[in-house]
């Protein structure tokens, strides 16, 4: 399996413990997702300790102030293949107080970088479906993964371009809404990936412990149950999807 979205720099457990637990759980790669210049540097340092196993990304998270210098750095990193994707980028109208117009501007800037460099992007969307759809339609050739996805078929159909993927977290384990289940059933397996978003969104069955990449198998199991597929098939297909989507990944 591949944990396609983690924030290892925010975890309290020692990095070596997280890595060892992940390897024992059958993890091939961990995508370590940066949110700004500071966390990109942390993600980069952690990747240097476990090259090829931890792979960093760089981006400006919704609500981060526009940083033209860092945007130039992101483009340079993409041109030299030093990151797996551009992200986490997107829009957040739930927690973020930055005006929507500013969020959209920064989001568009980073999608433009992705278009110029032919790089994939990791998209964060919180209560911004309509604007996310409108902006993404402006960049139809950019490969996108909609991280921690939780919408239903109506939004999926509008996002389902040749370049759109959908990644799920353990939130689907405790979601009993028909919309989420219908959404998972609506998406073909060749567009699905799995993630932990650790240290957040721990599977509830584990209690009040910090989430970690070793837990990503619970997401695969839930997708398999919803779709009526063997768990091993879900793990295999989501791994292949991640290998095809992210830059710099190699099969184990």
pTM greater than 0.75 (yes/no)? yes
Domains of the chain, by residue range, sit at: 2-245
pLDDT given at position 23? 98
Read off the pLDDT of each residue in 168-196 and give the average, rounded to a whole number: 91
Q: Has residue 252 got a pLDDT over 90?
A: no
Report the chain's terminal Cα–Cα distance, integer Å: 10
Task: State pLDDT tens for residues 60-91.
Answer: 999 999 999 999 999 999 999 999 999 999 99
Sign of CA dihedral 114, 126, 193, 165: negative
Sorted by sequence, the CB contacts under 8 Å of residue 173 that are 6+ apart come out as 203, 204, 205, 218, 219, 222
Q: Does the structural domain 2-245 have CATH classification 3.20.20.140?
A: yes
**Spatial contact of 20 and 219, defined as CB atoms under 8 Å apart:** no
Task: State pLDDT tens for residues 220-238.
Answer: 999 999 999 999 999 999 9
């Amino acid at each position: 399996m591949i944990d396609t979205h983690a924030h290892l720099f925010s975890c309290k457990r020692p990095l070596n413990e997280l890595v060892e637990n992940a390897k024992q759980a059958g993890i091939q790669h961990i995508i370590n997702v940066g949110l700004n210049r500071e966390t990109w540097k942390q993600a980069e340092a952690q990747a240097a300790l476990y090259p090829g196993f931890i792979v960093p990304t760089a981006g400006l998270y919704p609500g981060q102030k526009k940083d033209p210098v860092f945007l130039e750095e992101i483009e340079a990193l993409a041109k030299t293949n030093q990151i797996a994707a551009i992200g986490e980028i997107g829009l957040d109208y739930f927690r973020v107080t930055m005006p929507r117009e500013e969020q959209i501007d920064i989001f568009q800037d980073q999608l433009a970088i992705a278009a110029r460099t032919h790089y994939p992007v990791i998209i964060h969307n919180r209560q911004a479906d309509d604007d996310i759809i409108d902006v993404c339609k402006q960049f139809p050739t950019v490969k996108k993964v909609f991280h921690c996805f939780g919408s239903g078929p109506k939004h999926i159909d509008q996002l389902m371009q040749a370049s759109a993927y959908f990644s799920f977290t353990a939130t689907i384990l405790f979601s009993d809404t028909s919309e989420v289940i219908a959404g998972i059933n609506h998406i073909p397996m060749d567009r699905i990936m799995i993630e932990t978003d650790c240290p957040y969104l721990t599977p509830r069955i584990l209690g009040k412990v910090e989430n970690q990449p070793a837990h990503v198998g619970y997401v695969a199991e839930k997708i398999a149950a919803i779709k009526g597929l063997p768990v091993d098939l879900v793990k295999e297909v989501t791994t292949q999807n991640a290998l095809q989507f992210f830059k710099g990944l190699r099969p184990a």
